Amino acid sequence: MEKNEIKKLAEEYIKLEKVMDFRDEVSKLLSEENYSELGDRFYRELDFGTGGIRGVIGGGYNRLNPFIIRKTTQGLANYINKAVRRNDSGGSGSKASVAIAYDSRRFSPLFALEAALVLCANNIRVNIFTSLRPTPELSFAVRELGCTAGIVITASHNPAEYNGYKVSWSDGGQVVEPHDRLIIEEVRNSAGEDIREMTEKEAIDKKLLKYIDREIDEPYLEMVKGCFLRPDLVREKGKTLKIVYTPLHGAGRIPVEKAMKDAGIDVITVPEQAEPDGNFPTVKFPNPEEASAMAMALKLAGEVDADLVMGTDPDSDRIGIAVPDGGGFTLINGNQLGSMLSYYILSTLKAQGRMPDKPAIIKTIVTTELQRLIGESFGVRVYDVLTGFKWIADLIARFEKTGENYVFGGEESYGFLVGTRVRDKDAVSAAVVTAEMALFSRENGMSVLDFLNSIYEKYGYFRESQVSGTFKGQSGLEIMKNLMSGMRSSPPEQIGGIRIKEARDYKKRITINNITLPEADVLQFSLEDGSMITVRPSGTEPKIKFYISCREKPGKELEQAKADAGEKAAAMEKDIKKIIDSAK
């Protein structure tokens, strides 16, 4: 991009941005003639990915700021009003309405209010939370209030410099086709001068803006507590379970603590990470997938001899856990926790005679096949969808027409959903079921690790890992495209010394279990030994992710199976790193 073009875009942005801090940022870069930084801020405009819009906070079209929030919201408002006029919004009543929530990230309250006021100026009623709330509670609010759509300001587990804007539709699930595509078309077609505005006072006086809290908090927490499968066990023995919990400076503390306490379980919250703080001062990445993010919780757990360690990310839609291993604590990955929850829920429903008709589990194409084996062993149909929890929510909505009954679903990236009153991953409800599972295991003479190993002994050992390549900036985007294109046209013959048996390209329409998946930039390689490699660009970060899954069939001694699978995975990781390095 030429300097004159960059300068023109920067000057345009300065005129359009209302908030001085962001405006001054760009003005300073212009005065310094820092065209390298300005080029990165203006070479493109933030676009919708698997989780909506997400980007680094700052001035510019390729940054998240009040102007981008307002412009995006104007496009959303245009689409909502058209959908209501067509009567295909799915919300209750004839007037459009939106629920808005936000987490602890920097500028989240400002971004939420900016979005609310643009909606109000477009004659759309807004219900906005008075303070930070978990993402799943926003999904719950959309359904509870019969809203046309929902917005949550969050960047989930990204580092502190990020924030984001995630849109859900009237079913409480993140927007999918055609809504996502049509919303972004409206956003692109709206110019800065088209943005409608209204003051907070005017919006309240016209009854277009309403602040909400307890009227959603209380039914949401009742729903969460209703997820317990053995409430009598929890009530009688819950006090004996010692849990250390960290909200990682996010929105999870109040709902997780309250849901547990009301059920009779005491939670010890890591004091240094208890308060909301968008700078995340104690962690580099506020992500329970990262061992470093769980370090303080693990330290405290060792000091108090905890039975279970839990961590939720800033918007409390993901949960990570660690369990005692005899000499310390072992971190449990998302595939393992999802498999344990699947087995625990299904075995409990079967034992209680409460398995619904036409039961179904939903997982993503990169989530362990162990969950398929578990589901099918209980006579439960297991569905695959594309990566992104919105596809799980979309299939749950379709089940309402087919008569199938969703029992459980989740992603390998620590996102799970119990029940259907929320249509996004929900760490709060997952936390209560995980606590119950740990309690049930102990009452039956097993540790959580024993419980996991019993699953491996029954179905075979699965070892999953992930390798990512990061490609930042405009040049990085091009490298990522070339890498995917190269692997698509000339796939490797082997990975980790094991020949590739079959390559599946999700850019072509794939039908699995009578469900035709949308086209996606994903490649999947099945290896001769039953292992699988899946490759996809992230929808929210400048990364290409390689998902590795190795399986050892039942019958082999468990420790040997773990060692053999580990060797395979190490060889595959080595080859994948070579592929990434050769692309840079």
Please give the positions annotated as active site.
Answer: 156
Written as one letter, the residue type at 555 is: G
- Burial status of residue 305 (CB atoms within 10 A of its CB: 0-12, 13-18, 19 or more): exposed
113: CB partners within 8 A, 6+ apart: 128, 200
CB atoms within 10 A of CB 10: 21
Here the tokens at position 222 are 């009742």
Closest listed residue to residue 10, CA positions, set 82, 79, 60: 60
Here the tokens at position 185 are 């078309």
Closest listed residue to residue 74, CA positions, set 187, 164, 209, 203: 187
Closest listed residue to residue 546, CA positions, set 534, 561, 562: 534
Compute the distance between CA of residue 69 and CA of residue 252 in angstroms, rounded to an integer: 24
- Burial status of residue 159 (CB atoms within 10 A of its CB: 0-12, 13-18, 19 or more): middle
Compute the distance between CA of residue 522 and CA of residue 516 in angstroms, rounded to an integer: 15
Helix (H) or strand (E) holding 3, with range, is helix 3-16
Compute the distance between CA of residue 279 and CA of residue 286 in angstroms, rounded to an integer: 10
147: CB partners within 8 A, 6+ apart: 91, 97, 98, 99, 127, 141, 170
Helix (H) or strand (E) holding 159, with range, is none
Helix (H, G, I), strand (E, B) or coil at 408: strand
Helix (H) or strand (E) holding 202, with range, is helix 200-205
Q: In this structure, are residues 93 and 145 in contact, taking their beta carbons and an 8 Å threshold?
A: no
What is the distance between the terminal CA atoms of the chain, rounded to a whole angstrom? 21
17: CB partners within 8 A, 6+ apart: 23, 26, 59, 65, 66, 67
